[in-house]
Amino acid sequence: MKNMSLWMVTVVAFTFSVYAEEPQSPPSKPVAETQEELTIEIVVNRFKEGNKEWDSGVGANPAPDVYGKIQLPDIDCEIFVHEDSYIVKQGCPTRELATKTPVNIQLWDRDTMRQDDVIAIGTIEYQGDPTETTIGSAQIRLWYLNPPEKSGN
């Protein structure tokens, strides 16, 4: 019985030594908390080139099914499909953009049974809040939802 008790104490002590680790320092602040939310608003022209509706066919809504990608220096922000919409508004987490930072924009109209139509493909320079421009068949507006605090005010 004494051997059994000694064996149990050894097993328990070994178990505690295996699972006892040095306390770890708290995790560092997640990157997402140090980022800002850049809002991207896209207003697509009512008609594509040639004065044609984006979507046509029996029972089709003429508005485009907008999707694409916005490329910023630290992230590629996917614009998920917004069906039957002339206006798309979406946020992208990113660090504060400096003036003249290039922003690459690629937008399409998702179609079935044929090639997707290009809405806008190009690069603009961020010029501060807000930055507004036209590329292809869309007006693009960029601004920070919660602008970073400026020092020295």
pLDDT tens sequence across 65-116? 999 999 998 889 999 999 999 999 999 988 888 999 999 999 999 988 788 9
What's the confidence (pLDDT) of residue 40?
93
Amino acid identity of residue 40, one-letter, is I
Pairing type for strands 131-135 and 138-144 reads antiparallel
Whole-angstrom distance, CA of residue 123 vs CA of residue 101: 10
How far apart CA 121 and CA 137 sit, in angstroms, is 9
DSSP secondary structure string, 38-69?
EEEEEEE-SSBTTTB-SS-STT--SS--EEEE
Output the pLDDT for position 3: 57
**CATH number belonging to the domain at 31-144, selected among 2.60.40.150, 3.40.720.10, 2.20.25.160, 3.40.50.720:** 2.60.40.150
Within a 13 Å sphere around the CA of 124, how many CA atoms are in the beta-carbon half? 22
Please, what is the average pLDDT of the chain? Answer: 80
**pLDDT (tens digit, 9 = 90+) per residue, 125-134?**
999 889 999 9
Cα–Cα distance for residue pair 43/85, rounded to 1 Å: 9
Q: Report the distance separating Cα 5 and Cα 87, nearest Å.
A: 75
Q: Where are the domains of the chain?
A: 31-144
Q: Is the pLDDT of residue 41 over 90?
A: yes
Helix (H, G, I), strand (E, B) or coil at 37: strand
Distance CA 139, CA 1 (A): 84
